[in-house]
A and B are shown apart, each in its own frame.
Chain A
Amino acid sequence: MPFIGRDWRANGEQWTKTELGSWQRPKPISLSNSLTNLNASLSDILNALDIVNSVSNIRRFNYVAKVVQILLKEKLSELSGNAQRCLFQIIERMIDTALKTGDNIPLMQRIVTQFHNSIEAAYPFYYYIGSSQLWQQHIEKLTHMKEKMKHIRVNRIKTDEDNSKIKFDYLPVEMQREIVRRLDSGADIANVGMINSNLYRVTQELLLWRQLCLHHFGDETKNSNQATVFGEKISGFLRRQNKNMNLDMDNVDWKKIYFVLKRQYGLRDVYAEMIHQCQLCKYLYWQDADHPCPYEKLSSSSKPITPRKLVIMLI
């Protein structure tokens, strides 16, 4: 059978240099982005979107983290070996970025622990795609990552201590309140409340929780700056409460409402930069980048894709 592949007579392969200094094959961005190409696998699409390099971009980090988390928690049984390898690459890059900037280390620890637990729980392989050696390799890699992060985290916390003249504790209450207002998760606020009796008082203020509820579960339209527009989720909950007892609007326990609604609806996630899909040619691309749309004459219409929708599309 004659040799029909590329031999010494053909052009050589093309390699491009990455930011790290290593070499990589060029990513065929044009090919596997459209949904109509049913043969596009997860790793192809992730490569085309250049996820591995966008992790170092701080605006895209949170989005990628959410996608990774959804894939690990729910879709592990549907990930092929190649997809898992791609995922490992992404996680390794994320850990490097997190260690370099010092942000998000607890998040990375959570992700690695989750991955570790899911893979361990996948034994004995009824719904895990891969041989036992692969499984073993993965477990080792994840354990190694965990150790690396644990070591760094302890060092970082120690170096932040300094004998400041103005300590956080001595800030005026209004300033403490302003800072706590900018935490956007109830868990963080509750943790701050457990630090100190002064801070406990600050975090118990109902106005704080009310604002948090409105931010996460309030009306999504932009005109809802009025205090009276509560949106579907909150009004529904209040109405149900009202049936049991007489509700006093001034004494609504917003903290309780927050945790109940969080269990029911989940938190609202805001990302600095999201992946969009062009409605015309079904192309996927990052918010800041551009895409070669064959329908350029028509007005561009693109929809932002939440991480969950992206996962559904990919799998």
Chain B
Amino acid sequence: MAEDKIKVATSDGGILEVDLYIAKQWQPVKLIYEVLDSTNVPENPIDLDAISTETLKKIIEWSNHHKQDEADSADNSENDRNHGEISPWDKTFFNIKQEMIFEIIVAADHLGMTELLDMGCKTVANMIKGKTPEEVRQTFNIPNDLPPLQTAQPITSNENQ
């Protein structure tokens, strides 16, 4: 059953083959399968036009690694902000260019993959944590458009972890 593959088309014209098991976790694919009869594999590749090929490849890599996590779904409601939760594999996975991380976050939201979205956002949040506003601006190359009057002293907490 896991051997079934379907084709998906990405925004830059690439066509990738994906395990059916993984593709069915994605919102757009789920919708299509609900509409069609579940035994009919669609003839044409499914269009995922908001996502580029490279991003989709990374997402498939992540999905392949986390296949077993879907089976034993732990209660995630308590782990909202637990910083120890990013596993070493995920850390290496997200050790990529910033723009790729952002593309993965947007794609994960589009596909409805909450786990991946959570990991991506936590990674970026860890990059922000503990930095002054100027340092965050440098890290992410964000222009400053606030008038000087509003830029008060950045808050440094003494009790931070």
Contact = CB atoms under 8 A, between A and B. Distances in A.
Contacts of B152: 194
Given A181-B121, A191-B136, A196 B146 contact: yes
Given A161-B141, A165-B99, A267-B159, A194 B109 contact: no
B125 A194 contact: no
Interface in A209-230: 215, 222, 225
Contacts of B137: 195-196
B154 A194 contact: yes
Given A194-B146, A195-B144, A161 B128 contact: no
Contact of A270 (B81, B135, B157): B81
B142 A167 contact: yes
A107 B161 contact: yes
Contact of B77 (A167, A172, A184, A225): A225
B81 A187 contact: no
Given A182-B122, A192-B136, A197-B146, A271 B84 contact: yes
Contact of A106 (B117, B118, B131): B131
Contacts of A171: 102, 105-106
B139 A192 contact: no
Interface in A43-93: 58-59, 62, 65-66
A196 B106 contact: no
B41 interface: no
A157 to B, nearest CB: 5
A286 interface: no
Interface string B71-100: 000000110111111000000000001110
Interface in B104-161: 105-106, 109, 117-118, 121-122, 124-126, 128-133, 135-146, 150-152, 154-161
B47 interface: no
B19 interface: no
Nearest to A103: B126
A107 B118 CA distance: 24
A172 B106 contact: yes
B140 to A, nearest CB: 4
Contacts of A172: 106
A185 B106 contact: no
Nearest to A200: B146
17 contacts: A110-B160, A157-B139, A161-B138, A161-B139, A165-B99, A166-B102, A167-B142, A169-B143, A178-B109, A178-B121, A184-B81, A185-B160, A191-B131, A196-B142, A200-B146, A225-B77, A272-B82
Interface of B: 77-78, 80-85, 97-99, 102-103, 105-106, 109, 117-118, 121-122, 124-126, 128-133, 135-146, 150-152, 154-161
Interface of A: 58-59, 62, 65-66, 103-104, 106-107, 110, 157-158, 160-169, 171-172, 174-175, 178-188, 190-192, 194-197, 199-200, 215, 222, 225, 266-267, 269-273
